[in-house]
Amino acid sequence: MKVARTKRRPIRSEGPWAWLAAGSVALSLLMLGGLLLLIATRGLGHFWPAMVAQVEMADGRLLAGRAVRELPLEQSAGRERLYFTANRDLDGQAWHWLPVNDIVASETPQDLIVLERRRHGEFIGRLVALGDAESVREQQAREATWERLQARLATLQELRGERERLRREVLRPLIRRLDADPSDAQARQALAEANDRVRVLQEAMRGEVALLENVDGRRLVQPLEEVLRAWRPNAMSTVEKLGIWGRGVWRFLAEGPRDGNAAGGVWPAIFGTVLMVLLMSLLVTPFGVLAAIYLNEVAHQGRLTHLVRIAVRNLAGVPSIVYGVFGLGVFVYGIGGSLDEWFFNDALPSPTFGTGGLLWASLTLALLTLPVVIVATEEGLARIPVQQREGALALGATRLETLTRVVLPMAVPAMLTGVILAIARAAGEVAPLLLVGVAKLAPQVPVDGEFPFLHLERKFMHLGYHIYDTAFHGNDVQAAMPLVYATALLLVLVVLVLNLTAIFLRHYFRARHGVQPRP
Amino acid sequence: MTMPPRFQPSATGSIIDFAPEASCFQIEGLGLAYGDKRALRDISLRVPRHRVTAFIGPSGCGKSTLLRALNRLHDLNEEVSHEGRILLEGEDIHAPQVAVDELRRRVGMVFQVPNPFPMSIYDNVAFGLRLEGGLTRRRMDDIVEWALDAAALWGEVKDRLRASAWSLSGGQQQRLVIARSLAVRPEVLLLDEPASALDPISTLKIEELIRGLKSQLTLILVTHNMQQAARVSDYTAFLQDGELVEYAPTDTLFTNPSLRRTENYITGRMA
């Protein structure tokens, strides 16, 4: 409903009040802007391939790493600087505090490379040679080796893709066929062949290693199969860095997490969040709208209806974890347990629906947001002018026809308002999900090519929980912190996109007929 | 058609009477109350068929309440109770065998504020037809065109039948609402101050329309505008405090009212 704003003379005479009011608005905006700016810079900055410094200390130590921040020393004068030096497998730690006064020289050699690896985090150092595991020995010039490394990594990427494709499109369907009919000789044959092909691919990938060298000369044999990306931050132009940055952001969005959620992407969490919210909207809208119609149009407007209405409004204030407990008790153990007994008896004792999952999480959140939808829809229904109802009735429409053909279409924007509010609340909710279905790691998204395509019983990942998990449960929380910011930014964006979609829908329904001009 | 007026020497005033067979509505001893607040008291009158009858009276006199009783629009309000009878073509409209939606199809209504539905112009006019169902597309098109033509709107909207009804001006909207009512072919059309929210030109068009429509159906008009009642109606009933004070041919009522009360109201000397 648009509120007509008449031009009023602003309050000027009561100086302090106007200032106080304006000040609080400014402060709110400032805090909001600051929050967004913080998570945006910290989160997005993580993907920028920063320069790597080679640092020589007064005691002769050589280190290479990215300077992260500087603090004054506690005991003496001077400052100390934190370097991210990676190489967790060589040094046992990836961070070094160095007193700034003891740094003799700091330079940025062009040949320093950074490798992103599947295990042990990043590597910072130099590339010595490439080859197979048995005969790693000094080869051609370094520049050539860098280019060959790039080429080999690209080939490996292709092989990896090929292996994934085989697993997904050939192996899994065959295994399902064999599960259904263990005597299927043809499938058994095909499975053996496919397994052989995967093995050949594995061999081809496993063979190659790189000989790497730390800045202080310690060497390391790194299987190339475990290297995901390589770059030389000191030898790159800004455009190249932007490319690396873009690819980094894209991989963050499109890939699954690695290393106990401390690295890699968040695609399953994005997918899980959006899917869960959409399912929740699908569940809550019909229930909420029907309940509102009953309360507003059907029920006798007496004391009981009034009490029900108050109860519904109060339900909106119940802490969300309480809904989580309810979902766990009723949906997961109660309904889910019974479903398992009746339909999935052969899988017991491992539960199918008797454990947290997508369906139960969506249902719990639908319950949580039900009051919001009911209240918004009721207000929408109450706002529809009585003339519209009388107009329909006077044409011989029954009360049901009046409701379905005139009142409900006019109340659609109000219903969408309810759904918008529900989405805004549900997308950021984590506490109840802990109890009813969110998982630390569920790389398999709940939608795939396997019948029935949407797997409601599966556990799923959620951006909100991912933030919590990354921030508190990793091996190297310090290194994972930027990912926390990036994920937080993403969560804000996801909620924004979901909300905007609903707002555009509402706008479309409102604008279809415009505002009725009053003569 | 009309029988010679029979003047009643009563406490109220002259009440014109019509033979039952010439009457569309026969209201007999109608009383109505909102909760324990009485709105209408012992009203008896007959509405002649194919004529325009106007109900006038000061605000709160019960003229709109009386009008809304004729198509049972009070049914929605649980507080409303009534006594007496209302006969439509000799049949009690409160009889158990009367379906209220069927009654409202026979007795259409136009309200004070134009209330087109948020649909296209065509869909608005076709709304009542679709409720009945069973019409072919072509037949529906024909009726929609006829109704819009009867409401003197066809020429203005024939090129934009798919446009939203809310894009019309207030006067057009009110004529659209009349067309919507006409489309279901009612026997009676109730008009509750149909022009009070419109500008003078639109008002004039609506009045012309009302005069033109009486060859097809019976019209009952509630208005607080006495010039309007004088311009368009054939008979006028004056109500005050929920009672029927005087009911006479419009000319007689306005030029030669039988009671001082009526004369005071008409000439603007309200007590």
For residue A511, what pLDDT is reported? 74
Nearest to B52 by CA among B265, B203, B258, B250: B250
Asked if A425 and A315 touch (Cβ cutoff 8 Å), the reply is no
**Arithmetic mean of pLDDT over chain A:** 84
Q: Encoding tokens for residue B62?
A: 């019960």
User: What percentage of residues in chain A have a pLDDT greater than 70?
Assistant: 92
Q: Do B202 and A398 touch (CB under 8 A)?
A: no
In a domain, A445, yes or no: yes
Rounded Cα distance, A386 and A306, in Å: 21
Q: Do A395 and B104 touch (CB under 8 A)?
A: yes
Chain A, 488 to 517: residues with Cβ < 8 Å from chain B are 512-517
* Domain end position, chosen among A254, A287, A303: A254
User: What percentage of residues in chain A have a pLDDT greater than 90?
Assistant: 18
For residue B125, what pLDDT is reported? 92
The helix/strand/coil state of A172 is helix
Segment B132-139 shows an average pLDDT of 86
Rounded Cα distance, A272 and A20, in Å: 43
User: CB of B196 within 8 Å of any CB in chain A?
Assistant: no
**Of B101, B105, B160, B196, which to mutate for an interface test with A (greatest number of A Cβ within 10 Å)?**
B101
Asked if B243 and B41 touch (Cβ cutoff 8 Å), the reply is yes
State pLDDT tens for residues B173-217: 988 999 999 998 999 999 998 888 788 888 888 898 898 888 889
Q: Does residue A144 carry a pLDDT above 70?
A: no
Q: Are residues A82 and A203 in the same domain?
A: yes
What is the band of A5 on the pLDDT scale with cuts at 50, 70, 90?
low
Q: Are residues A202 and A315 in the same domain?
A: no
Q: Does residue A340 carry a pLDDT above 70?
A: yes
What is the band of A369 on the pLDDT scale with cuts at 50, 70, 90?
very high
In eight-state DSSP terms, residue B120 is B
For residue A87, what pLDDT is reported? 87
In eight-state DSSP terms, residue A443 is -
**Of B71, B72, B115, which to mutate for an interface test with A (greatest number of A Cβ within 10 Å)?**
B115
In a domain, A300, yes or no: yes
Rounded Cα distance, A315 and B264, in Å: 60
Q: How many domains are contained in chain A?
A: 2
Within 8 A of A512 by CB-CB distance, chain B residues are 118, 164
Nearest to A122 by CA among A43, A230, A257: A230
For residue A13, what pLDDT is reported? 61
What is the band of B133 on the pLDDT scale with cuts at 50, 70, 90?
confident
Within 8 A of B197 by CB-CB distance, chain A residues are 518-519
Rounded Cα distance, B11 and B149, in Å: 46
What is the band of A513 on the pLDDT scale with cuts at 50, 70, 90?
low
State pLDDT tens for residues A165-193: 888 778 877 887 777 777 777 878 888 88
Strands B188-192 and B107-110: parallel
Q: Are residues A297 and A237 in the same domain?
A: no
Asked if A495 and A427 touch (Cβ cutoff 8 Å), the reply is yes
In a domain, A463, yes or no: yes
Q: Are residues A130 and A105 in the same domain?
A: yes
Distances from the Cα of B217 to the Cα of A367, B58, B107, B211, angstroms: 55, 27, 10, 11
Rounded Cα distance, B210 and B189, in Å: 10
Residue from the list B111, B128, B169 with its beta carbon closest to the beta carbon of A396: B128
Rounded Cα distance, A67 and A72, in Å: 15
Residue from the list A395, A514, A517 with its beta carbon closest to the beta carbon of B128: A395
Q: Of A214-228, A451-465, B106-120, which has the strongest mean pLDDT?
A: B106-120
The H or E element spanning position B86 is: strand B80-88
**Arithmetic mean of pLDDT over chain B:** 86
Q: Are residues A220 and A363 in the same domain?
A: no
Q: In terms of residues, how long is chain B?
A: 271
- Using the CB atoms, write b or e for B177-207: b if 16+ within 10 Å: bbbbbbbbbbbbbbbbbbbebbeeebbebbb
Asked if B42 and B254 touch (Cβ cutoff 8 Å), the reply is no
Q: Give pTM, 2 decimals.
A: 0.78
Q: Which residues contact A174 (CB under 8 A, 6 or more apart)?
A: A187, A190, A191, A194
Q: What angle do CA A304, A310, A316 make, to 5 degrees?
A: 140
Chain B residue closest to A396 (CA)? B101
Segment A288-298 shows an average pLDDT of 91
Segment B110-131 shows an average pLDDT of 89
Q: Does residue A221 carry a pLDDT above 80?
A: yes
Closest-CA distance, A494 to chain B, in angstroms, reads 33
Q: Which residues contact A56 (CB under 8 A, 6 or more apart)?
A: A62, A103, A104, A105, A106
For residue A378, what pLDDT is reported? 92
Report how many Cβ contacts below 8 Å link chain A to chain B: 87
User: CB of B140 within 8 Å of any CB in chain A?
Assistant: no
Rounded Cα distance, A455 and A446, in Å: 5
Give the CA diameter of chain B.
58
For residue A119, what pLDDT is reported? 81
Domain regions of chain B by residue span? 20-115+186-266
Q: Do A395 and B202 touch (CB under 8 A)?
A: no
Q: Are residues A221 and A281 in the same domain?
A: no
Q: Does residue A515 carry a pLDDT above 80?
A: no
In a domain, A135, yes or no: yes
What is the band of A161 on the pLDDT scale with cuts at 50, 70, 90?
confident
Q: Which residue has the higher pLDDT, A471 or B269?
A: A471
What is the band of A262 on the pLDDT scale with cuts at 50, 70, 90?
confident
Q: Do B102 and A515 touch (CB under 8 A)?
A: no
Rounded Cα distance, B68 and B38, in Å: 15
Residue from the list A396, A515, A519 with its beta carbon closest to the beta carbon of B105: A396
Distances from the Cα of B39 to the Cα of B46, B53, B244, B246, angstroms: 19, 21, 12, 17
Residue from the list A387, A392, A405 with its beta carbon closest to the beta carbon of B113: A387
Rounded Cα distance, A129 and A126, in Å: 9
Rounded Cα distance, A37 and A246, in Å: 19
Rounded Cα distance, A474 and A110, in Å: 32
If 0-12 CB within 10 Å is exposed, 13-18 middle and 19+ buried, where does residue A287 land?
middle
Q: Encoding tokens for residue A26?
A: 């400014």
What is the band of A514 on the pLDDT scale with cuts at 50, 70, 90?
low
In a domain, A317, yes or no: yes
For residue A372, what pLDDT is reported? 92
Rounded Cα distance, B268 and B164, in Å: 42
Q: Are residues A277 and A220 in the same domain?
A: no
Strand partners, A321: none
Distances from the Cα of B45 to the Cα of B210, B217, B247, B260, angstroms: 21, 19, 8, 21
State pLDDT tens for residues A51-94: 899 998 888 888 899 888 888 888 777 888 888 888 888 888 88
Q: Do B170 and A393 touch (CB under 8 A)?
A: no
Q: Are residues A213 and A292 in the same domain?
A: no
Q: Does residue A377 carry a pLDDT above 60?
A: yes
Q: Are residues A350 and A454 in the same domain?
A: yes
Asked if A245 and A158 touch (Cβ cutoff 8 Å), the reply is no
For residue A1, what pLDDT is reported? 44
Number of Cβ atoms within 10 Å of the Cβ of A241? 16
- What is the CATH number for A319? 1.10.3720.10
State pLDDT tens for residues A380-402: 998 888 888 999 998 888 888 89
The rounded Cα A237 to chain-centroid distance in angstroms is: 31
In a domain, A11, yes or no: no
In a domain, A154, yes or no: yes
Strands B37-48 and A62-72: unpaired
Q: What angle do CA B141, B144, B145 make, to 5 degrees?
A: 85
Q: Are residues A90 and A218 in the same domain?
A: yes
Q: In terms of residues, how long is chain A?
A: 519
User: CB of B199 within 8 Å of any CB in chain A?
Assistant: yes
* Domain end position, chosen among A226, A254, A282: A254
Q: Does residue B41 carry a pLDDT above 70?
A: yes
Q: Are residues A250 and A294 in the same domain?
A: no
Q: Are residues A70 and A139 in the same domain?
A: yes
**Per mean pLDDT, which range of A111-115, A308-312, B6-10, B157-161 is the poorest?**
B6-10
CATH class, B20-115+186-266 region: alpha beta
Range of the domain at A235: 53-254
The H or E element spanning position A367 is: helix A358-383
| Chain position carrying tokens 């759904």 | A419
In eight-state DSSP terms, residue A294 is I
For residue A4, what pLDDT is reported? 53
In a domain, A389, yes or no: yes
State pLDDT tens for residues A7-60: 666 656 667 888 888 899 999 999 999 999 999 998 888 888 888 999 988 888
Q: Do B167 and A514 touch (CB under 8 A)?
A: yes
For residue A10, what pLDDT is reported? 62
Rounded Cα distance, A310 and A305, in Å: 9
Chain A residue closest to B190 (CA)? A394
What is the band of B2 on the pLDDT scale with cuts at 50, 70, 90?
very low
Within 8 A of B116 by CB-CB distance, chain A residues are 391, 516
Q: Encoding tokens for residue A253?
A: 């969005």
